[in-house]
Amino acid sequence: MPYCQRTLLLILLSGVFISSLRPCARAQGRRPVSYEQRVTAPSIPFRRGAAWGLMSPQGKIVVEPRYPNPIKRYFHAPYLWYTTQAGPLPVVLLNEQGQELGHFKTFTQAPNGMVLATGQRTITLFDSVGHLLRATPYASIQEEWHQGLAVVKLPDSVLTTKPATGSYAIRNSEYVIPGLLGLVDAQLREVVPPSFHHIGMYWQGYTPVSLIDRRKGAIDRAGRVTWLSRAHADTIARAYFGGFWAGWSNERQSAAAVDVHDQVVVPFGKYKEITRGQSDPYIAVMQRVRLGAAPNGKWVERWGLLDTTFREITPPLYERLAQHGRWTVVEDAPVGPYQIPQRGALYQGRLVIPARSPQVYPTGDQRYALALESSRDSATHTTVSRYVCYGPQGPTGMAVVSLQAPVYLGHDIFSYQSSYETRPQLILASGQKPFDEEITGVSTAYGGRYYQVRTATKAGLLDTTGRWAVPLSAAYDEVLPHQPDSLFTVRKNKLEGLVTATGQVVVPLEYTWVTHGPGRTFVGRKPDGQFMLGRTGRVRMTLPDYKAQGKKVFKLEILAPGLALLHWLREPATLPSSAGSAMGYERGVLLVNEQGRQILPAEVTQVGPASNGVIWVSNGSAYAVLDYQGKLLTPFKYTNVQPFSQGITLATTGGHEVWLDCFGKEYAQ
């Protein structure tokens, strides 16, 4: 094929591919897709004239039309309807039986499918099917939940005169006192009544609280509160660090800490700083020490660790430290001409790796730490660097010369590569090889779960627990996982098939390539070019020879169990006069069922998502509904269509929104 013709073909293919990906429907939420042609919604909105109501799928009027705006579904709570109206409370909520639940400003989803409906000043709670749970006194419920609890807030108080005490804000010449805060659990039951000006996040079983008069304290998960004395709150409790507060005194030039029970646990005088990160198991403390005699001695910072009982487990010896769970990487002053920091590691506060390495890496599961160590070869008089593996008790026996830090694959297994010219290898933390075959490659983790391990002649799939999902003994040339259905594409002798995570063959090794989708439907291409459509490994139909028809299939999708969508292109007999023009290329789509029937009407140019036993199809200007047997259930007259859910959907026709079901019935009178 001439260069300009190849370029034109690529341009055209790109345009068709992008067009096929362009959604013809807006997503309605992440619920499982049903492929059964059935209406499960108890009620459906319908329009009579300019008003909207609800009727049953059988046509019985549930709510007489009386709402001026369309009734729509709240898809985060799929059993509620809503509509809008003019006024200060514009949202009207209804349940599926047509009962009006109330008028509100806004509504949103809460945990366990509950719905929070905000009224004039307070929030009303409903479950996902519209049952009233209770009206609350809260003005807001915090969207960010922490350890199963959320902060709730009472309505603000608005005064026309300036308050005598406490904090306030000025708004429209009025004085606004913020509403008090409390806590509710995931069932929205009150754990702590609204009584605080500020509530922080739970950390080490407690959260800091304060009152409007700046009094500080802490509450546990049961809501019990312990207050700090005024002296501690003013001089020590500057910042909360999980179970204790710490603060700095300019007068004493040191830091101190007080616990949630108002006890001074670290007095002023010893440390210059006391701190802890959210994920740190230990408390970091810092002292300033003088290096060299006065007056020319240099003051430097040195860090150590306290445990949660405030016992010093690591004296302040290090320039820096960083906690990684049970491991803490420590750093001493640089040495040598290149000023490379000297790093080591503590395990639960005990020194395991002396601070003499330029690099130290704990593994993600905190079982091991890798240190880059150097030694001088007495025979060659050269310096050799290698990564040494350490466990809680010291070196494990693994020491490898590696291009970069070995990658931890989980379950005591590491992957490493000694140079660009060598192949990656697997090694156990003990230093032994996990098996005898020489490894030629190890991939990065697919989906964070699987590694493809290759030898010179075969490939297997190792999961992150060290278990063989597809063992090397299966002797595949390549194994590639597909998420989320846990099927793996396997290749051998230039043929493809599909297997499960347990090695069960779903599609045998008989195809040059395989595409699969819902219901374990697959389309495979045989070496002779023939397409096979089947399910769970069994061929149901040999598809026509499209190549003989002059149609090149360049993309293939499985829309629903037993349904395959093929995108084809036919090249012109002669090259178009304008290089870069797409004129002259014919293209189209085919929808084939497992009986081998092509079920798309001739005028269809685009096919949308399949759900509830039907598919949206387009003739280029409007949409219609097609069932899985190829029957058009509606004319081509819809725009702004949405996927079907519970057997119904909302679309626009003639400039008006209308609901219709998966049998093509419109709900309008």
Contact 373, 385 (CB under 8 A): yes
Quote the CA–CA distance of 70 and 80 in Å, as a whole number: 14
Q: Quote the percentage of the chain above a pLDDT of 70.
A: 91
pLDDT category of residue 5 using cuts at 50, 70 and 90: very low
pLDDT tens digit string along 84-101?
999 999 999 999 999 999
pLDDT tens digit string along 213-248?
889 999 998 889 999 999 898 889 999 999 999 999
* Residue 8 clears pLDDT 60, i.e. is over it: no
Q: What pLDDT is stored for residue 436 in this prediction?
A: 76
pLDDT category of residue 482 using cuts at 50, 70 and 90: low
Phi, psi of 519 (to 5 degrees): 65, 20
* Residue 422 clears pLDDT 90, i.e. is over it: no
- Measure the CA dihedral 17/21/24/30, to 10°: 160
* Residue 668 clears pLDDT 90, i.e. is over it: no
Find all residues with CB under 8 Å of 602, minimum gap 6, and list them: none
* Residue 152 clears pLDDT 90, i.e. is over it: yes
Characterize the bridge pairing of strands 394-400 and 383-391. antiparallel
Contact 418, 424 (CB under 8 A): no
Q: What pLDDT is stored for residue 20 in this prediction?
A: 29
**Which of the pair, 445 or 407, is modelled with greater confidence?**
407
Find all residues with CB under 8 Å of 234, minimum gap 6, and list them: none
Quote the CA–CA distance of 612 and 34 in Å, as a whole number: 5
Burial class (CB in 10 A: 0-12, 13-18, 19+), 379: exposed
Calculate mean pLDDT across residues 108-115. 82
**Which of the pair, 112 or 271, is modelled with greater confidence?**
271
Contact 372, 363 (CB under 8 A): no
Q: Which two tokens stand for residue 282?
A: 């230990």
Q: What pLDDT is stored for residue 267 in this prediction?
A: 95
Q: What pLDDT is stored for residue 338 in this prediction?
A: 64
Contact 402, 420 (CB under 8 A): no
pLDDT tens digit string along 552-587?
999 999 999 999 999 999 877 665 555 444 456 788
Q: What pLDDT is stored for residue 17 in this prediction?
A: 27
Distances in Å between the alpha carbon of 632 and those of 610, 623, 629? 14, 11, 9
Q: Quote the percentage of the chain above a pLDDT of 90.
A: 55
Q: What pLDDT is stored for residue 470 in this prediction?
A: 86
pLDDT tens digit string along 307-329?
999 999 999 999 999 999 999 99
Q: What pLDDT is stored for residue 219 in this prediction?
A: 94
* Residue 508 clears pLDDT 80, i.e. is over it: yes
Contacts of 482-489 spanning 24+ positions with Cβ under 8 A: 482/516, 483/446, 483/447, 485/520, 487/516, 487/520, 488/461, 489/514
Quote the CA–CA distance of 337 and 416 in Å, as a whole number: 29
Quote the CA–CA distance of 302 and 270 in Å, as a whole number: 12
Is the bond preceding residue 508 a cis peptide, omega within 30 degrees? no
The number of CA neighbours under 13 Å toward the Cβ of 134 is 7
Contact 427, 436 (CB under 8 A): no
Contact 532, 511 (CB under 8 A): yes
Cα-atom radius of gyration of the chain, to the nearest Å? 34
**Which of the pair, 8 or 322, is modelled with greater confidence?**
322
Q: What pLDDT is stored for residue 27 in this prediction?
A: 34
Calculate mean pLDDT across residues 113-138. 89
* Residue 173 clears pLDDT 90, i.e. is over it: no
Q: What pLDDT is stored for residue 180 in this prediction?
A: 93
* Residue 533 clears pLDDT 90, i.e. is over it: yes
Calculate mean pLDDT across residues 97-115. 88
Calculate mean pLDDT across residues 326-343. 84
Task: Return the SS3 of 536.
Answer: coil
Quote the CA–CA distance of 583 and 594 in Å, as a whole number: 34
* Residue 342 clears pLDDT 60, i.e. is over it: yes
Which residue from 110, 101, 136 is spatially nearest to 121, judged by alpha carbons?
136
Biggest CA pair distance of the chain? 97
Contact 392, 353 (CB under 8 A): no
Q: Which two tokens stand for residue 444?
A: 């990065």
Calculate mean pLDDT across residues 406-417. 88
* Residue 164 clears pLDDT 80, i.e. is over it: no
Q: Quickly tell me which residue has 């013809």 as its tokens.
A: 24
Helix-, strand-, coil-residue percentages of the chain, each rounded to 5: 5, 50, 45
pTM of the model: 0.74
Ranges 2-6, 150-154, 158-162, most confident:
150-154
Distances in Å between the alpha carbon of 78 and those of 84, 128, 421? 18, 7, 58
**Which of the pair, 77 or 497, is modelled with greater confidence?**
497
* Summary count for the chain: helices (H), strands (E): 2, 61
Task: Return the SS3 of 393.
Answer: coil
Q: What's the chain's average pLDDT?
A: 86
Calculate mean pLDDT across residues 95-117. 89
